[in-house]
Structure 1
Amino acid sequence: MQKTYKVQDDEPERSILARLITPDQNPGDDPLEELHGLATTAGTDVVDELVQRRSSADHSTYMGKGKVEELRLMVQKHDADLIVFDNDLTPAQIRNLEKATGAKVIDRTELILDIFAAGARTHESRLAVELAQLEYSLPRLKRMWTHLSRQAMGVGMRGPGEKQLEVDRRLAQKRISDLKAELKQVEERRERQVSARKEAPTVSLVGYTNAGKSTLMNALTDANVLAQDKLFATLDTRTRRWNLPGWGTVLLSDTVGFIRDLPHSLVASFKSTLEETRQADLLLHVADASSPTVFDQIAAVYAVLKELGIEEKDTLLVLNKIDAIHNPAILNRVLDRYPNAIPVSARSNKGLGCLIEAVGEALGREFLDIAVEVAPSDGKLLGYLSSKGEVLSREFGDESTIVHVRMPAGAMGPVHKSALSIKPSTLMDEAKAAEEASANSSEVA
């Protein structure tokens, strides 16, 4: 009787990393360090690397012919399965590179999407990742059907591959439309939920991936949330109560990490997940001070915040991982550029006292105690004041209503646009006291 053996290949894909660097880029001492972290997070075994400096990308293979041949030889030498580019490639470039090297080729965006897909846990994040993947794949569908015969183009002259391609494109477009509609509902529901929270001010942690946001959240709140030393360990927003000394209860949120060249489709898809950040009273921008590319990482985070339309929100820069810095000159170099930044170590709790004090001061200056005069017919403004601030009292008159409210300074735009008048509450109280004093003196006379 012949024996049969079941072979199961559990080994990770063997990958080669590649990057083209143009003169306008400053990649640092190790231009493939971040891509190496991404590839490892995705579960591949990195076996070799290749970097080319070139004035511009080749339109057909991105890298020059000589480097493409080097990649082919590397694939043969290491029996590699995958080539990962730290650049964004066109479908034609990917197809040509695969033909020339004999290995599967993916670009930076596809790698990040794969990591997000593997890490998505909630229904909301899965919807966001699927939408981003479909929008990325739609113009690349033709690549998936190269194994089918295709006849000359023209009416009645299309091969089965072209017919299937059109069917797949219509199905993908329909699914994209459905996902956008569902995510829109999720976004509106999340916006209502976040704006309805009035029990405490909100603080949101933002920053580059693996900067230590989750570790800092654990240090401040004893939340015991997952904190791993890997890229994109957090994809879903998590909110915990933080008992801020001298202030009271504050809601602290941990959000998905950002990265250089984060795909625009991901930013758009994750808008509902980032709603906590959009409506936060204060942002804590956590940066890895020990990283040699810390300046680029800080710039990348501000670029994503600008894309979300919240770059002007009150923000404290927190320089984390100072315990990993052994040369004080490295930290001083960062502080020279960002003198108001707060150095901390979330792992050892060093500097957290200064951070807590700074957060209390920032929240205090963020809120305004004002008296807003509103027209009786302006129900929209009355509703806005109730949703964005804490209404302390109302005074109803024949021609207007005066609302005493405590609200974030960042939410004052619509108030300035629609209110009849805006005055500090203390001035209104003084005016009222003066009127009462004058009335009393008249009665005595």
Structure 2
Amino acid sequence: VGYTNAGKSSLFNTLTNADILAKDQLFSTLDPSVRKVQFQELGTAFLSDTVGFVSNLPHTLVNAFRATLEEAANSDLLVLVVDASDDKIIQHEKFEAVNEVLTEIGVDHIPRLIVCNKIDKTDLEPKIEYDDQGNPTMVWLSAKSKAGVPLFEKAVAKLLIETPVEKRLKLQPTEAALRARLYEKGLVVSEATDDLGISYLKIKGDGTLINTILGQF
């Protein structure tokens, strides 16, 4: 996620070898795109590219944004992309605008990793910043030159592997094999079933294991 033109689609393309439209214009990505990717340390993960945010989002558009950001709402980690080449004041304004939208659509509670993209336009070097507990909080990289991309993968892996992941799944009756596997691995916290036989599961556990299982079905 991130402010429009921060380079989200460019980073998405670099990580997935996809060909998502990446233009310097508002709303160049109108719908979320999801791709399966393989991280060296993490294993299988699903990466979603979402519509770019803008400041002072009209309330008439909030529901539209919420619909396009459904994937983000179900994410284990939000990757918040910012333009490192922006003026510091502009960076702050855009960052606050993104936080406002995340709060508006109800996903501000999800853990996040800040990515400072476009360092190729600055004199900055690729690096990872950590908090006092040793958790990655920010990665400096260039999606265009790919400098720092391995550091991004390392940071994502550390956050998802060492932090228990909690997800809510909606499984159709035809997905009984996936349901059985989740129970087999002791990942199911609770389950409810409706009259149509659809199961609503809350699962929690190792992020790598969960991503691997979901990637198999």
2:187 corresponding residue in structure 1: 405
User: Is the CA contact (8 Å cut-off) linking 1:391 and 1:405 kept in structure 2?
Assistant: yes
Among residues 351, 355, 366, which one is paired with 2:152 in the alignment?
A: 355
Are 2:18 and 1:223 equivalent residues in the alignment?
A: yes
> How far apart are residue 406 of structure 1 and its match?
6.3
1:316 corresponding residue in structure 2: 113
Query: 3-state SS of the aligned residue for 2:184?
Result: strand
Query: 3-state SS of the aligned residue for 2:20?
Result: coil
Are 2:67 and 1:272 equivalent residues in the alignment?
A: yes
1:214 corresponding residue in structure 2: 9
> How far apart are residue 405 of structure 1 and its match?
1.3
> How far apart are residue 247 of structure 1 and its match?
2.2
Are 2:182 and 1:390 equivalent residues in the alignment?
A: yes
User: Would you identify which runs of 4 or more consecutive aligned residues in structure 1 move more than 6 Å?
Assistant: none
> How far apart are residue 267 of structure 1 and its match?
1.5
- Distance in structure 1 (CA, Å) of the matches to 2:159 and 2:121: 28
- 1:129-184 Cα distance to aligned partner (Å, 9 max, x none): xxxxxxxxxxxxxxxxxxxxxxxxxxxxxxxxxxxxxxxxxxxxxxxxxxxxxxxx
- Distance in structure 2 (CA, Å) of the matches to 1:297 and 1:269: 20
1:179 corresponding residue in structure 2: none
- Distance in structure 1 (CA, Å) of the matches to 2:165 and 2:121: 40
One-letter amino acid of the structure 2 residue matched with residue 214 of structure 1? S
C-alpha change, 1:361 and 1:298, in structure 2 (3 Å) is same
- Distance in structure 1 (CA, Å) of the matches to 2:74 and 2:163: 13
> How far apart are residue 363 of structure 1 and its match?
1.2
Root-mean-square deviation (CA), in Å? 2.8
- Distance in structure 1 (CA, Å) of the matches to 2:182 and 2:115: 29
Query: 3-state SS of the aligned residue for 1:207?
Result: coil
C-alpha change, 1:309 and 1:244, in structure 2 (3 Å) is same
One-letter amino acid of the structure 2 residue matched with residue 225 of structure 1? I
- Distance in structure 2 (CA, Å) of the matches to 1:270 and 1:325: 31
Unaligned 5+ residue runs, structure 1?
A: 1-205, 370-385, 394-403, 413-423, 425-445
- Distance in structure 1 (CA, Å) of the matches to 2:47 and 2:138: 19
Equivalent residue runs for 1:236-247 within 5 Å:
236-247=31-42
1:290 corresponding residue in structure 2: 85
- Distance in structure 1 (CA, Å) of the matches to 2:6 and 2:100: 16
2:54 corresponding residue in structure 1: 259
- Distance in structure 1 (CA, Å) of the matches to 2:93 and 2:70: 25
Equivalent residue runs for 1:51-62 within 5 Å:
none
> How far apart are residue 368 of structure 1 and its match?
5.5
Equivalent residue runs for 1:169-184 within 5 Å:
none
- Distance in structure 1 (CA, Å) of the matches to 2:59 and 2:141: 31
C-alpha change, 1:357 and 1:318, in structure 2 (3 Å) is same
C-alpha change, 1:257 and 1:392, in structure 2 (3 Å) is same
Kindly indicate which of the two structures has a greater share of residues assigned to strand.
Answer: 2
- 1:307-353 Cα distance to aligned partner (Å, 9 max, x none): 11111101000000111114x5xx99xx8xxx931101000001111
C-alpha change, 1:314 and 1:368, in structure 2 (3 Å) is closer
Among residues 131, 137, 156, which one is paired with 1:340 in the alignment?
A: 137
Kindly indicate which of the two structures has a greater share of residues assigned to helix.
Answer: 1
- Distance in structure 2 (CA, Å) of the matches to 1:213 and 1:368: 24
- 1:196-228 Cα distance to aligned partner (Å, 9 max, x none): xxxxxxxxxx00000000000111110121111
Q: Give the fraction of aligned pairs with identical amino acids, expressed as a percent.
A: 41
One-letter amino acid of the structure 2 residue matched with residue 315 of structure 1? R
> How far apart are residue 296 of structure 1 and its match?
1.0
Number of aligned residue pairs: give it.
Answer: 170
When the two structures are superposed, what TM-score results if normalisation uses the length of structure 2? 0.71
Unaligned 5+ residue runs, structure 2?
A: 130-135, 167-177, 191-204, 206-217
